[in-house]
Structures are given as structure tokens and as C-alpha cells.
Amino acid sequence: MKISVKNNIKEATRGLSKIHKEQVPFATSNAINITLFQLRKEMAKQTTKHLDRPTPFTQKGFLVETAKKTTLVGMLFLKEAVEKYLRFQIDGGTRSTGKYIPIPYKPNARLNKFGNIIGKRSGLIKKSNQFIGEVNGILGVWERRKVSSSTTAKSPLKLVIAFTKSVNYKPRFPFYKISEMFTKNKFDKNFTRAFNKAVKSSR
């Protein structure tokens, strides 16, 4: 997941004096880097608009590889740990880890404020009346409950977490579209400021 920000030097240097042309690579690299760091902040904001209660870990998962005046290429990319799951929100597709993936059954599962299973690392079974097994063809964490004539429950078991070997995703987070629109809107302005500053400092 990388976005490259480049600039056409020939176009930028057309009609400039030799002294001014010498400042273009430096100004361009600065403008690229400023734009990318602005884009990183924007991406964190956009996650809240397109994703369901993203965690701070996800929002801070965007990194910048800065440009140099010799290469004039900068990149915005995802931390490896974040890319493993966020890429499915970006591109869609089928997630398959080779292991069972726990899917919370929302009416019964205990979830944190981000919609994730509470204490997942410490174990999926939270109560003594819970067990892992297959019921009616569904493998997962089930909970035994008392059923009496005064309750509306029809079954002594309720599903808490289901296990599946794969999950299908539709694209939800327009990573590339946001990047393209944002850089088109910001880069020229950032370049103009960086170039004027570079020219002034060279005098």
C-alpha cells in the first residue's frame, strides 16, 4: 500500500533562471514531504468516516518515507501489522489465515468500544458456562443458559463467537482516491511556498 508523490521538473523549471532552477529540487522534495505528512493526518481522520470505530493503532498505522532532492519520490504506506487487515478494507477480497477467525455474534458477545472482542488474547471463553464446540453445524464459543417457562429463550445454548476459516470483504476505505485528491489539492500550494522560501534563502 504505497502512494508515490512525484513532480515534473522540466515543467517546474520552464522559464526560470539558472539560480532559480537550482532551488527547484530542494523545494520539490520539501513540498512532497510536507504534503505526505499532511496526508498522513488526513488519513487518520478519514478512517473514522469510512471504518467502524477504528482503533488508535489503526489510525496511527500510516507511515511516511520522505523524499530527497536527488530522487524526488516520497511515499505514504502502512505499517506491516496494520496492512495485514486494513488492506481488505481498501481492496476487498477474501481473508484467510489458515486458522479459524473468531467472528463475534454481536447480540451476545462482549465487545469493547471499538467493536472488538474483549480480552481476545487472554482467551475467548470468559465464563464457566461457556464452551467451544459445534452446534447445528456452527463451530464457535457457545454459552449454556437456563431456560424456563418465564423466559423467551427457546434454546439452552446461545452463540457468542463463531469460527470461520475465511471472511469476505467489500472495499470500504478509499485509500487511493483520498490520496490522489488530497495531493492534487495540496501539492502545488506547498511547492509554491517551498520554492519561494528556497529562493529567498539563496539570496
* Tens-digit pLDDT profile for residues 141-188: 999 988 766 555 567 899 999 999 999 999 999 999 999 999 999 998
Residue 98 Rama label (left phi>0; alpha psi -120 to 50; beta): left
Confidence (pLDDT) at 128:
87
135 Cβ contact partners less than 8 Å away, ≥ 6 residues apart:
142, 157, 159
* Tens-digit pLDDT profile for residues 3-45: 566 555 566 566 666 667 778 888 989 999 999 999 999 999 9
Rg (alpha carbons) of the chain, rounded to whole number: 25
pLDDT band for 138, please (50, 70, 90 cuts).
very high
Residue 92: CA count within 13 A, CB half-sphere:
4
